[in-house]
Structure formats: C-alpha cells, structure tokens
Amino acid sequence: MSPSYWQPVPANGYAEVRVSRNDGKGAAFSSGIQCIAPGSYIREHWHDHNEELLFFYEGTGCAIVDGIKHSIVPGTTIYLPPLAKHRLINEGEGNLMMMWTLLPGGLEDFFAAVGRPRTAGEPAPVPFERPVNVAEIERDTVFGGAVQRPTERDETTAD
C-alpha cells in the first residue's frame, strides 16, 4: 500500500506517495497524487534543485507561476524548473486532483513530516495547522530558501 498523509492548512486534502526514492527500487525521483480540498491552496514555494511536473486530472483552479496566473482544468500539465515560484489554488467546488513528479525526489519526506497518516476511505480530519518547525522541515527537504509564512491576505483570499 502507498504511504498516504492528510495535509495541514492551507492545502488540506491529502498526498499519496506512489514512487519513492526511499522504497528500495532505486528511483531517482518521487511521484504521487495530491488532493487539494475545495477553497484550499498550496502556498507559494519553490525548489532550489528539483524539477517538478504536475498533471491535473480532476477539478478546476489556477496556478500562479513566477507571478503569472494560469488556469487549471482536467488535462492541464505544468512543468516547473528549479527556482520557479509557484502556488496552486483550488477554485472549484470539488477536489483539485493532480499527479506530481519531483526529480530528484524528496517531496515524500515533506509530506510525512508535516502530515498525519491516512487510510484510504477514512473521513477527512478537522483541518489542522502545520508543525511549528515547518521552516526547519522545509529547509531539510526539498524547498528553496526561506519559504515565508503566508500573510493574512494569503490566508483569506485566493488571488
């Protein structure tokens, strides 16, 4: 069974790891799926040394990449080279579902560190906060520089 983790606010939803550099099969990348709950978002971030490929297969929303807004519909594919600042926003009424691939891998370590174990089919927990040491977790995994905490405006709006 694939490791799966409930994710904290502001993303909510969950992440499942389908391929991991940690699974003993020698993959240099990691890949999985992520569900972003309605009204939620993945805050702006970037990866210093990792390439990321996102394929959206359910829901609608937008991606803001280096300050430019792009619509997301089923079938949208986004390539993010190292250092590309990006934010993903669920603008729809249902879940925004994507498959992600990160090369080299490591995103699975972040999901495990900030999330809570999830079993398929169980109800979503009450939204929960990120760990107080999230900046340290980000620094030790795949995030670039000092990822800033969202501002009050970020917490209440999607644009």
Q: What is the pLDDT of residues 91-119, one digit of tens each?
A: 999 999 999 999 999 999 999 999 999 99
What's 4-147's CATH class? mainly beta
CA distances from 32 to 3, 123, 154 (A): 10, 20, 26
Q: What is the pLDDT of residues 9-32, one digit of tens each?
A: 999 999 999 999 888 888 899 999
CA distances from 93 to 6, 19, 42, 146, 148 (A): 19, 29, 16, 32, 28
pTM of the entire structure?
A: 0.88
